[in-house]
Amino acid sequence: MRNTIRAAALVLLLSPCGAWSAQKHAYTLYTPPSGSFTVEIPEGWVPFEAETPRGVATHIIGPSEADGAWRASYHVHYFQKGKPGYVAPREAMKAFRERDKDTDRDVDQITVWRVDQQAAKMFQVREKRMLPSSRLPSEIVSLHHFYMFIPSGRDEYYMIKLSTTEKTFLDYRAEFRRFMKSFRSR
């Protein structure tokens, strides 16, 4: 019995807890209730959809990071012209790309990708936040966000963001590419 406990403890200690890319993952096809898109998401990630003043937002919450203070997650926003609070894609991209000295927010250059047969624009943002923000103790955590802007029709567009910690973003880079390859708008 004692040897079994020691063996189990050793297995737990040697397991790659934060190594996302080193693990094999199963995926499931997901369509939100609005039917605005379909995408393959990792099994175990929890999706939910919400209506916002600017349009529909789907959040897909993944594993916790930074000692539970942050969760890797996708945010898929569908912006529709005519909705209150609508912002044109160019203006929205400019706002998301603003630098901020207070949070050490830094932005990479824009690259063009082909997503769902559309010319999409991708960039990455790094910033620091005090987490958890609602309770103590908290600590400064470096975050990394992948942003993708995908046109959908004349004035509508999707803004997709994958947020991770700076420590794990390289592990999620291939996951982001895979997610974008499987993304299909309605």
* 65 is a domain residue: yes
Q: Which residues pair with 49 in a beta bridge?
A: 58
The runs of H, that is alpha helices, within 62-184 are 89-96, 169-182
Distance of CA 147 to the CA centre of its chain: 8
Residue of 84, 164, 78, 87 lying closest to 116 (CA atoms): 78
Q: Is residue 59 part of a domain?
A: yes
Peptide bond into 137 cis (omega under 30): yes
Q: How many domains does one find in the chain? A: 1
Residue 160: pLDDT band with limits 50, 70, 90: very high
Within a domain: 139: yes
Per residue in 56-100, pLDDT (tens digit) is 899 999 988 767 768 899 999 998 888 888 888 889 888 888 877
Q: Are 53 and 80 in contact (CB under 8 A)?
A: no
Give the whole-angstrom CA distance, residue 25 versus residue 144: 22
Full-model pTM? 0.81
- 4-24 b/e (C-beta count within 10 Å ≥ 16 → b): eeeeeeeeeeeeeeeebeeee
Position 108 in a domain: yes
Angle (CA) 64 29 111, round 5° = 70
Residue 13, domain member (yes or no): no
Taking alpha carbons only, the member of 34, 110, 48 closest to residue 78 is: 34
CATH of the domain at 121: 3.40.1000.10
Q: How far is the C-alpha of 130 from the C-alpha of 39, rounded, in Å?
A: 32
* Within-domain flag for 9: no
Predicted confidence (pLDDT) per residue in 27-44, tens digit: 999 999 999 999 999 999
| Phi, psi for 94 (deg, rounded to 5) | -60, -45
pLDDT digits (tens, 9 = 90+) for 88-145: 888 988 888 887 777 778 888 999 999 999 999 999 999 888 776 777 777 888 899 9
CB 77 within 8 A of CB 55: yes
117 in a domain, yes or no? yes
- Say if strands 156-165 and 27-30 run parallel, antiparallel, or are unpaired: unpaired
Does residue 8 sit within a domain?
no
Q: Which residue range is the domain that position 77 belongs to?
A: 23-185
